[in-house]
Structure 1
């Protein structure tokens, strides 16, 4: 009897460890991966709390997670700048990049861009981009874990339907505001704006954390007046002081939008809730 119990325990342990150990950098992508791996394994979220992918200083325990992973999923090496050193130490075939096309183009034309900030890697804000990524992710999962192919494909079909519904619902909610001019604090919203054909007249800054000069502030104010902009979208990295300086004396609504979903519970439903929250705030600003 003891032998049978020991054998059963050993068998269960072996099956558990046989499933892929997946580590994902940020919450929105972790949510997509979680949906595809349901019924097989639960991916580990690397950056928790309010850790920034741009400036994160990894703890030894986080570095250990990366080293032990069968697959590490990141947005792009230029986006997760805080992870760059650790990512370089991982075998290339164990890393899956969401913006893979940008990686390939960057390798071929590495001098085309003046700096990493000139390329926008907030691709999770475009649901259509995520549809393409889910296909690439499912193929990678099947490659490293072929025994669970049927589960991955079934989860892929379910996820595609959810993303299609989310795209349609979001498109409908924003359809009445496509002619309403808006401005953004930086380029973080480009994918969202392009996807839903919103009317952006430009961004105040191109880079995260850039200190605004008086010239840029005055130029932005003039554009807001000339284009009759009534909505300014910005991410939490922009301080209240900067936003107040920029909007002082102007009749304009502002929306502070968390594009990562720091306060949303991680997991399969995170991405759905994140897009819904972003859309709601954008609609309220554009009204």
Structure 2
């Protein structure tokens, strides 16, 4: 009897976790990275489906409840979803990781797309300026600390030159770093599965290293491209691609007549052969802007709305982008 009582006391006092941690990710690419880390333990919840633009969203009650119940919320940060910041401040029980704020994350500023800047060369020199460091550095999460006044400037789309470009998930080195940070945070929340989280993160980082080499080889000698708006800077910078120009300066901006006229002259002078829009944009907008120019118009999706969320999502996302950009290779 005494033995049974002592055993019961020990069981009640032991810091065992009966449930898999509840994790919420803001967008599908982040969800895909978290799913890699949690594979074999559980599955994260996705706040926004891949077909929903993260820039302007009204949070539904069900989404707010999911975050309130979460042990961990993983999000890009207020540069992408400023509307989410206030909701996260009211979390009662969970923790959060703002990925753009993790030490070691490569963060690029929005670029100035004045007409006289269209001719700038990006790619290699910018990539080397960022520094390579350890390909598989495992960053540590830290508490959020924002300049709230600056964040409010982000409320109306990505037309604020000089602020952080939030599309940082399009660099596989960031993805590898983030996986390590997520694994460390989950290991503290759920120490029982710490070894699995860390092993999964290492496997994912190794895969990202191989994927980077694969895509770099595929996109060698790729020509310059035109984008509807500047959403692919991280991918472009990592793989030495060249942006010839953008039609709209930001997500909320409409192109002016003077800008389009200068852009059309620039494209003709440079012999740009391909242009890309995002899937949520009306194709007629780009066709009208480029009427009379001999350009191949393709679709690039930075959010992967046609992909199945979960493990393997991130690899497919980058491979799809690589396949699109490969259309700009000579002779394609």
Which band: TM-score by shorter chain? 0.7 to 0.9
Counterpart-to-counterpart distance in 2, 1:111 and 1:76: 13
- Is the Cα contact below 8 Å between 1:254 and 1:285 reproduced in 2? no
TM-score, normalization by structure 2:
0.75
Whether 1:205 aligns to 2:206 is no
1:214/1:258 CA distance change after superposition, 3 Å? same
Within-5 A mapping of 1:96-107: 96-100=97-101, 107=146
| 1:281 counterpart SS class | helix
- Is the Cα contact below 8 Å between 1:185 and 1:205 reproduced in 2? yes
Counterpart-to-counterpart distance in 2, 1:216 and 1:20: 50
- Is the Cα contact below 8 Å between 1:53 and 1:83 reproduced in 2? no
Whether 1:125 aligns to 2:170 is yes
Structure 2: which 5+ residue stretches go unaligned? 1-11, 108-141
- Is the Cα contact below 8 Å between 2:68 and 2:92 reproduced in 1? no
Deviation of residue 104 (structure 1)?
A: 9.5
Q: Which residue of 2 aligns with 1:52?
A: 53
1:115/1:32 CA distance change after superposition, 3 Å? closer
Q: Which residue of 2 aligns with 1:74?
A: 75
Counterpart-to-counterpart distance in 1, 2:86 and 2:171: 28
1:138/1:49 CA distance change after superposition, 3 Å? closer
- Is the Cα contact below 8 Å between 2:249 and 2:255 reproduced in 1? no
Structure with greater proportional helix content: 1
4+ long deviations beyond 3 Å:
101-116
Deviation of residue 194 (structure 1)?
A: 0.3
Matched length: 273
Deviation of residue 78 (structure 1)?
A: 2.3
Deviation of residue 275 (structure 1)?
A: 0.9
Counterpart-to-counterpart distance in 1, 2:181 and 2:22: 18
1:139/1:234 CA distance change after superposition, 3 Å? same
Mean Cα deviation higher: 59-68 or 41-50: 41-50
Mean Cα deviation higher: 62-71 or 125-134: 125-134
Deviation of residue 206 (structure 1)?
A: 2.6
1:46/1:93 CA distance change after superposition, 3 Å? closer
Identify which of 195, 217, 221 aligns with 1:172.
Answer: 217
Q: Deviations over 1:121-160 (max 9, x none)?
A: 1111111111221222122111222221111111112111
Structure 1: which 5+ residue stretches go unaligned? 1-10
Computed over aligned residues only, the root mean square deviation of the Cα atoms, in angstroms, reads 2.8
Whether 1:260 aligns to 2:261 is no
Counterpart-to-counterpart distance in 2, 1:237 and 1:104: 34
- Is the Cα contact below 8 Å between 1:181 and 1:199 reproduced in 2? yes
Q: Which residue of 2 aligns with 1:65?
A: 66
Q: Which residue of 2 aligns with 1:29?
A: 30
Counterpart-to-counterpart distance in 1, 2:310 and 2:170: 17
Identify which of 191, 194, 217 aligns with 1:146.
Answer: 191
Identify which of 266, 275, 286 aligns with 1:232.
Answer: 275
Q: Which residue of 2 aligns with 1:6?
A: none
